[in-house]
């Protein structure tokens, strides 16, 4: 019996797919082996096929490619300005800060005040 891997990294699974595909192992057999080792949550049959297609199209990298996303408006300088405003007016509310910093959403402002600046509600 095989040992199971509870939570394999995606690149590890893709490496197994690439190696097995290079050894001419059939797609169904690769998926069956992955299910034995990683369980049902490892990778779907369709995803195994997708990766085999990509490796057959000469892809060699098993890691995720960089994706473009929405750039964050919050940087260290802006967090310092928020901290300065809080120190000016200690009994502050998030709504008051939203009026001062309209470019930051209320949720993001709350997360930064609590997580980065470590202020707590009293």
Contact in structure between 10 and 64 (CB atoms under 8 Å): yes
What's the fold here for domain 10-57?
Arc Repressor Mutant, subunit A (1.10.10)
Taking the C-alpha atoms of residue 94 and residue 120, their distance in angstroms, rounded to an integer, is 11
This model's pTM is above 0.95: no
Residue extents of the structural domains in the chain: 10-57, 76-116
Taking the C-alpha atoms of residue 51 and residue 38, their distance in angstroms, rounded to an integer, is 17
Tens-level pLDDT at each residue, the chain (122 residues): 568 887 888 899 999 999 999 999 999 999 999 998 888 777 899 999 999 999 999 999 999 887 777 777 788 888 899 999 999 988 888 999 999 889 888 999 998 899 888 888 77
């Amino acid at each position: 019996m095989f040992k199971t891997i509870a939570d394999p990294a995606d690149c590890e699974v893709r490496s197994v797919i690439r190696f097995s595909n290079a050894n001419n192992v059939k797609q169904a057999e690769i998926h069956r082996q992955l299910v034995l080792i990683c369980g049902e949550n490892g990778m779907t049959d369709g995803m195994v096929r997708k990766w085999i297609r990509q490796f057959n199209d000469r892809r060699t990298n098993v890691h995720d490619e960089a994706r473009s996303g929405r750039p964050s408006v919050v940087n260290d300088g802006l967090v310092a300005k928020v901290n300065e405003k809080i120190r000016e007016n200690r009994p502050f509310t998030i709504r008051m800060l939203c009026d001062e910093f309209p470019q930051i959403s209320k949720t993001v402002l709350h997360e930064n005040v609590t997580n980065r600046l470590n202020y707590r509600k009293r």
